């Protein structure tokens, strides 16, 4: 009888490993039936069969069946081994992972807290179990915005590992990485980088610099450099991470994620051909590994479509955006903020094709989603307001456009402060509309406010200042104030063509 159970259980495992999940479920059910027939309800094989069945139901997202099987497994294990057994701790972790999968985070927390309590009794037997469970509990807290409780658990995990296994054990890498995430959320980028570099040294001296975990640390350090604005420093780290992932994991989603980030870097630095090629690879990896409806695939499709949009390749952008929108609606729901971004880009295409009524309808839907998700005064709302204002402006409906840009300005001012460069940009946008409406006094006031804000950091805001000066020059020209117009035109040239100005100054006096 034991041989028959072993055979059925092994066949379930083999089908699972081959991705044949429905077949695996069938054999797991047969194994459970065989275990019960041979041993009754309270036997280790029954508990193991229930656990395996629960894990399989988790994988096929049959949440009710997964919960039922795992809870029954926990009941059997507790009856056999007691409330503090390692087996029960492992089942609690499986239950927590299942609850995370179906987004029942409160129940996941309770199960992880139970696992932590159990593993605390077995620290001498396996010193890694408790720190690992603390790290998982911390990740749960972080996912719900509970930063400080997460930090407490991670510090406990760090001290436990350092005391029991030493300060260079590879298990510390995961803890340090999670602590660095918290440092980033707190805005302490230097502390985050310090922890990540310590993890990098630990991994380099233990698992080696060709290991996927080492690549993960490189990618995290690159993210810190992104946050610091050091794109040049981030690029070689991302390239190295992509090379390691490609060599060790091939077309795994983790490889796709690193490629995705590198492609975004190329796009941000104007290397559109490299970005386009890499996004195509990312889409291929995600399609084969995650399926057509996964949010990560939808994000990559949207990113590639934006490259096509920027180069006016509408016919190439449209099917990608359509696929991205459908995938996001299916996987995330029709009111998710990511759906709003897809709608925004679809609306831009319809506007470019002259289909302004449809474009406005999609922008309005995106606006409604963002207001519901973030609130009416969140900066995310401004994209929809400004895009709708542009369409109304093109239609000659200047009052509607003005109202929307004034709302956008108020949001930027409240979110970032009256002296922020984003607020200055919003003043400029509104000023150009005032010019179209021949409200020249209002336009001048808005432009001078924008100028004053940007001049607080002239070097960093130089290109934005040039745009403001150009608009001021045009405004004064309309008003026949030629001296002021020429003055600002000259200031534009000084910013945009410094090399030419230097050559002119070297050849003789300017008149």
Name the nearest CA neighbour of 352 among 303, 405, 315, 404.
315
Give the integer Cα–Cα distance in Å for 347 and 327. Answer: 17
Residue 98 lies in a domain: no
Predicted local distance difference test score (pLDDT) of residue 508: 34
Q: Is 45 helix (H, G, I), strand (E, B) or coil?
A: helix
Residue 492 lies in a domain: yes
Predicted local distance difference test score (pLDDT) of residue 483: 87
* CATH code of the domain covering residue 469: 1.25.40.10
Predicted local distance difference test score (pLDDT) of residue 1: 54
| Final residue of a structural domain among 191, 217, 248 | 248
Tokens 């045009």 sit on residue: 474
The whole domain housing 428 covers 417-511
Residue 320 lies in a domain: no
Mean pLDDT by 10 residues, the chain (511 residues): 82 89 91 90 91 92 93 93 91 92 89 92 87 90 84 92 89 91 88 94 92 94 89 93 91 91 90 94 92 90 91 90 91 88 92 92 93 87 91 91 89 85 87 88 88 82 85 87 86 70 36 28
Neighbour count for residue 411 (Cβ, 10 Å): 22
Predicted local distance difference test score (pLDDT) of residue 191: 94
| Final residue of a structural domain among 248, 283, 313 | 248
Residue 79 lies in a domain: no
Helix axes 482-496 and 462-478, enclosed angle (nearest 10):
160
User: pTM for the full model?
Assistant: 0.72
Within a 13 Å sphere around the CA of 328, how many CA atoms are in the beta-carbon half? 22
Residue 174 lies in a domain: yes
Residue 347 lies in a domain: no
Tokens 């696992």 sit on residue: 115
Residue 506 lies in a domain: yes
DSSP 190-215: HHHHHHHHHHHHHHHHHT-TTSHHHH
Predicted local distance difference test score (pLDDT) of residue 2: 61
| Final residue of a structural domain among 248, 264, 280 | 248
Predicted local distance difference test score (pLDDT) of residue 331: 84
**Distant-in-sequence, close-in-space partners of 219: CB < 8 Å, separation ≥ 6:** 237, 238, 241, 257, 258, 261
Number of domains in the chain: 2
Residue 53 lies in a domain: no
**Exposed/middle/buried for residue 511 (C-beta within 10 Å: 0-12, 13-18, 19+):** exposed
């Amino acid at each position: 009888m034991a041989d028959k159970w072993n055979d059925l259980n092994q066949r379930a495992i083999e089908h699972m490993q081959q991705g044949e999940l429905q077949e695996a479920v069938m054999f797991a059910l047969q194994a459970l039936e065989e275990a019960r027939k041979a041993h009754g309800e309270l036997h280790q094989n029954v508990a193991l069969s229930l656990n395996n069945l629960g894990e399989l139901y988790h994988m096929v997202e049959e949440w009710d069946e997964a919960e039922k099987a795992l809870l029954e497994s926990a009941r059997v294990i507790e009856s056999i081994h007691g409330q503090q057994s390692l087996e029960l701790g492992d089942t609690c972790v499986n239950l927590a992972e299942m609850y995370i999968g179906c987004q029942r985070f409160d129940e996941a927390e309770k199960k992880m807290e139970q696992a932590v309590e159990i593993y605390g009794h077995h620290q001498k037997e396996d010193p890694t179990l408790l720190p690992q469970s603390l790290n998982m509990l911390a990740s749960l807290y972080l996912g719900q915005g509970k930063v400080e409780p997460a930090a407490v658990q991670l510090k406990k995990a760090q001290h436990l590992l350092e005391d029991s296994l030493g300060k260079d054990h590879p298990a510390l890498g995961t803890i340090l990485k999670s602590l660095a995430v918290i440092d980033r959320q707190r805005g302490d980028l230097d502390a985050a980088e310090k922890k990540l570099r310590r993890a990098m040294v630990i991994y380099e001296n233990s698992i080696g610099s060709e290991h996927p975990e080492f690549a993960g640390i490189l990618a995290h350090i690159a993210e810190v450099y992104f946050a610091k604005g050091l794109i040049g420093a981030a690029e070689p780290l991302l390239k190295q991470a992509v090379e390691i992932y490609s060599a060790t994991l091939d077309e795994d989603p983790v490889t796709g994620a690193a490629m995705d980030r590198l492609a975004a870097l190329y796009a941000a630095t104007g290397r559109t051909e490299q970005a386009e090629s890499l996004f195509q690879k990312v889409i291929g990896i995600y399609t084969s590994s995650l399926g057509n409806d996964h949010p990560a695939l939808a994000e990559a499709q949207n990113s590639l479509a934006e490259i096509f949009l920027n180069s006016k390749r509408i016919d190439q952008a449209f099917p990608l955006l359509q696929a991205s929108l459908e995938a996001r609606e299916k996987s995330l729901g029709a009111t998710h903020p990511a759906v709003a971004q897809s709608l925004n880009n679809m609306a831009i295409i319809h506007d470019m094709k002259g289909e302004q009524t449809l474009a406005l309808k999609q922008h309005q839907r995106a606006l409604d989603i963002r207001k519901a998700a973030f609130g009416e005064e969140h900066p995310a709302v401004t994209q929809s307001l400004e895009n709708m204002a542009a369409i109304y402006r093109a239609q000659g409906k200047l009052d509607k456009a003005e109202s929307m840009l004034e709302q956008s300005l108020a949001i930027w001012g409240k979110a970032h402060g009256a002296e922020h460069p984003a607020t200055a940009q919003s003043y400029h946008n509104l000023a150009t509309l005032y010019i179209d409406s021949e409200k020249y006094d209002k336009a001048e006031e808005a432009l001078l406010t924008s100028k004053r804000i940007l001049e607080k950091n002239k070097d960093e805001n130089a290109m934005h200042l040039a745009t403001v000066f150009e608009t001021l020059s045009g405004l004064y020209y309309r008003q026949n104030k030629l001296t002021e117009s020429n003055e600002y035109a000259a200031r534009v040239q000084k910013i945009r063509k410094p090399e030419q100005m230097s050559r002119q100054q070297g050849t003789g006096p300017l008149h």
